[in-house]
Structure 1
Amino acid sequence: MSRESVLSSLIQFDVPVAQLKAELGTLTWDCAPVVTLLRSHIAAVLDRYSRGEIDAPTVEDWANLVECREDIGFEAGFEELIDAAIFDLANPILNGELSAVAPVILARLR
């Protein structure tokens, strides 16, 4: 898969985490953004969590795959909000359990 297609699958979270990890492992880190993470992408992941389709560790794994990637840009005008949301989701030990932080993050994103 191309970098763009792998990263698109990551931000849309339309393939399992294990597959994403494997495909991301083939990509180099130092690359300009080729996809843009939107507030709606994060909200969609949290909505899936709220519906019980994915669990908290899966959301954490997804956020860890997104966090600090130079090849993923953030929605213009919302960069700090998106960065903070990904940090919160990737670090539940620091920021609290997903069941507590998900509603707060969703409210900020919407």
Structure 2
Amino acid sequence: MIRLREYLCTNSVDFAAIISDKDKLSLPTPKSLKSLLDLMARRVQRPHKLMMNSMIDDRDRITAVRALARLERPLDDVLIAVSKFEWDYHGSPFILRKKYVEDILQRYLSRKLTDVELETWADAVELREDIAFDENHSQWLEDVITTLSSHELNGPTNRDRILSFLK
């Protein structure tokens, strides 16, 4: 939902009607307040273009985030796609499930992904506000993502480590 201030600023509200003197801000008159409330009521009944764009941006973002989380396309492509969005996110996150990560780990084991690609993927997924871990496997997901993204602390990624995650 758009905050009231942003909403008012983006909906061509005539603030001149609210300000009685150009140099002083005064309380709105009952008539100007009524006009403002009427305008807001009409906007609520008919979604504003900005709100529609925001919904489209959220869908685009979640599509890009899903592609990253599930590694549905080449890693470079999904990294470019998610980089188009701001870091902060207040919408509903994409839920990262254990089966998605297991699939990616299997791709590593079958040599479809390199050590660097797997580590880069985990680093890109870690701490994103638009990705949440499945509650049923959150500890496992956190352990895998953190371990893979922090190879400097946890040692290099290797076949044995990946197999231990899949047991």
- Normalising by structure 1, we get a TM-score of 0.89
Matched, 1:105 2:165: yes
1:28-52 deviation per Cα after TM superposition (whole angstroms, max 9, x unaligned) = 1221442110111111111001111
Matched, 1:53 2:138: no
How many corresponding residue pairs? 107
Paired residue type of 2:79:
K
Paired residue type of 2:60:
S
Q: Secondary structure at the match of 2:119?
A: helix
Q: Secondary structure at the match of 1:73?
A: strand
Between stretches 70-79 and 41-50, larger displacement belongs to 70-79
Check whether the contact 2:68–2:79 (CA below 8 A) recurs between aligned residues. Answer: no
TM-superposed deviation, 1:24: 1.2
TM-superposed deviation, 1:96: 2.1
TM-superposed deviation, 1:85: 0.9
Q: Partners of 1:61 and 1:8 in 2: how far apart?
A: 16
Paired residue type of 2:126:
E
1:35-80 deviation per Cα after TM superposition (whole angstroms, max 9, x unaligned) = 1101111111110011111111100011111011011011112212
Q: Partners of 1:5 and 1:19 in 2: how far apart?
A: 13
- Normalising by structure 2, we get a TM-score of 0.60
* Structure-1 residue corresponding to 2:77: 19
2:144 to 85, 95, 102: 85
Q: Partners of 1:33 and 1:89 in 2: how far apart?
A: 25
| Greater RCO, 1 or 2 (C-alpha within 8 Å, sep 6+) | 1
Task: Name segments (4+ residues, structure 1) moved above 2 Å.
Answer: none
Query: Structure 2: where are the runs of 5+ without partners?
Result: 1-58
* Structure-2 residue corresponding to 1:2: 60
* Structure-1 residue corresponding to 2:100: 41
Larger-Rg structure: 2
Query: Structure 1: where are the runs of 5+ without partners?
Result: none
Q: Secondary structure at the match of 1:36?
A: strand
Q: Partners of 2:163 and 2:122 in 1: how far apart?
A: 16
Q: Partners of 1:36 and 1:96 in 2: how far apart?
A: 28
* Structure-1 residue corresponding to 2:155: 96
Q: Partners of 1:30 and 1:81 in 2: how far apart?
A: 25
Q: Name the % identity.
A: 23
Query: How large is the RMSD of aligned CA atoms in angstroms?
Result: 1.4
Matched, 1:76 2:135: yes
